[in-house]
Amino acid sequence: MNLEKVVFGFFIILALTLNFGFFIGEFDNPEHHNVYELFAVIVVNLIATVLKFGDRTQMGALLLATSLVADLQLLVAAVVWGYVLHISGTGLDSMAMGSIVSLAGGAMLANIVSVVLLIIETANLRR
C-alpha cells in the first residue's frame, strides 16, 4: 500500500464530504450553514490542491483543474460571506446565503468530478 496515494485519496474525499456537509440544509437559511465548516472546506480543498501539483499526466492536469475550480468557488463564497457581514451592512440575508451556498455547490460538483477521476485512474491502474 502506498501511503502517498492513501493521503492523496483521503484529502480528495474529505474535501468532497466536508463540502457536502456545508452544502446540505435549507438553501437560504444561514442557521444551516456554518462559517467554520466553510473555512474547513477551504483549508482541506487547498491541501488537496497542493497534493495534486507535480503529477505531469493528463489525468493529473484534470485533477488539478477541478481542484482549482473548487478553490476559486469556495474562496469567492468566503469573500461574499465576509462582504455581506462586514462591508455591505445588509447582513447575512437569504439572498446572500443563497449565493454562498450556490458557490459551494459548484465547488462540490468540481469535487465530485475530482473523485470520479480518481476512481477512473485507480481502475485503470489495475488493468
Q: What is the pLDDT of residues 15-36, one digit of tens each?
A: 999 999 999 988 888 889 999 9
What is the pTM assigned to this prediction? 0.91
> Which among 25, 60, 48, 54 is positioned nearest to 107, based on CA atoms?
48
Q: What is the pLDDT of residues 51-69, one digit of tens each?
A: 988 788 898 899 999 999 9
CB 30 within 8 A of CB 122: no
Domain ranges for the chain: 3-126
Angle between helices 35-52 and 3-23 (to 10 degrees): 150
